[in-house]
Structure 1
Amino acid sequence: MILLLLALISATTAFQGDVVNLTLNEQATVTLDECMYFLDTLQNSSTLPPGEYGIKITHSCLGNEQIEIRTNATTDVITIKVEKDPNPEESLVEAENEVLSLRKEVQRLEGEVSYYKKLFEVLNKINVDLYDKLQNLATENDELKRELELYKSKAGNYSQLIDELRLELSKMNETVRQLQATNEDLQANLTKIDAELSRASANLELFQTLFFVTLSFLVGSAFALMRR
């Protein structure tokens, strides 16, 4: 292995179809030869954080191929000698298996895409339904606000009417108290008059008795004089 300032490479000599590992010691922009690519991104140029990355050497590579590692401060170049594949048949089978695996992965991803598309449609429909419901609720809320303002207005009118009725009731209560006072005065006067009437009746009876006694006396005296 060759120790570099920026990175470590697992091999400087490789065969077509091999995978070599690049270990970055700091973040850098790595640019591979066009016949190579990163296994993770399937691209030949990426800005990568520190870590280990697999690099696929395709069968189009042959001879000295370069890897450029660039930071803001410096740039290093690694040269890999790529030799012809000693077992092209095995590599072909491996490539076919890899293609088959990729096709399966593509089918799986297409299935996921189809699933997420349907999920998106369902969620979008739900979102539309929710939006419609929210609009309806907003309309109902506005209507309730208008009704509330109407009830508040009516309540204000009722409150004013209640205040007026309370004032009238207060006046009526005052009138009742005055009438009660007048009635008490009348009762007192009536009691006084009744007492005076009783005394007058007693005096009348006394006067009547005296009248009849006097009359009897006078009549008796008259008859006595007539007999003489």
Structure 2
Amino acid sequence: MTGPERITLAMTGASGAQYGLRLLDCLVQEDREVHFLISKAAQLVMATETDVTLPGKPQAMQAFLTEYTGASAAQIKVYGKEDWMAPPASGSSAPSAMVVVPCSTGTLSAIATGACNNLIERAADVTLKERRQLILVPREAPYSSIHLENMLKLSNLGVTILPASPGFYHQPQTLDDIVDFVVARILNLLDIPQDMLPRWGEHHMVNDE
């Protein structure tokens, strides 16, 4: 198995709930253990943008997502925003990689300043201090200088900033194709196999005639 076996996936209150749900599905299909965190704002956005309405309590949400993705028992673990005993809150047991998708600019700011007011922020802080892989997927337009400064600060600390900016060289035919472009890039960074998007040049044919 390539890539991390355990991953923290956090969803915050920016547009783009489809990205987080699709990534969760892909991680489950690749037999990864997912520690799932979601903000109240993200739950509201998800209900607005998709046909998915998550239960409010972590245990009920875990059961829902397990059935929704076809995950095996205990493959998805859901934690509340103030569950300070959760594995992502400690460097001694946190997963080796964390992805925040979508990542709101508020969450981006909190991570950049070291705020730990909830489990999502604490998990990101742990990932940073332990020098583990942290990928943030902001979805905002346009970016203010504050946003860009926070991104630069985090990038200098080794964080990967992957804006939800899909390309079109794969000639997408559906909305799902556009979502898959961004999710495939995340999986590539995690070194997890994916067949949604060929890497640049894989299907390039040289014509010598």
* Same fold (TM > 0.5): no
Per chain length, whose mean CA-contact separation is higher, i.e. which structure has more relative contact order (CA < 8 Å, sep 6+)?
2
TM-score w.r.t. the length of structure 1 is 0.20
Q: Which structure has greater helix proportion? A: 1
Structure with the bigger percentage of strand:
1
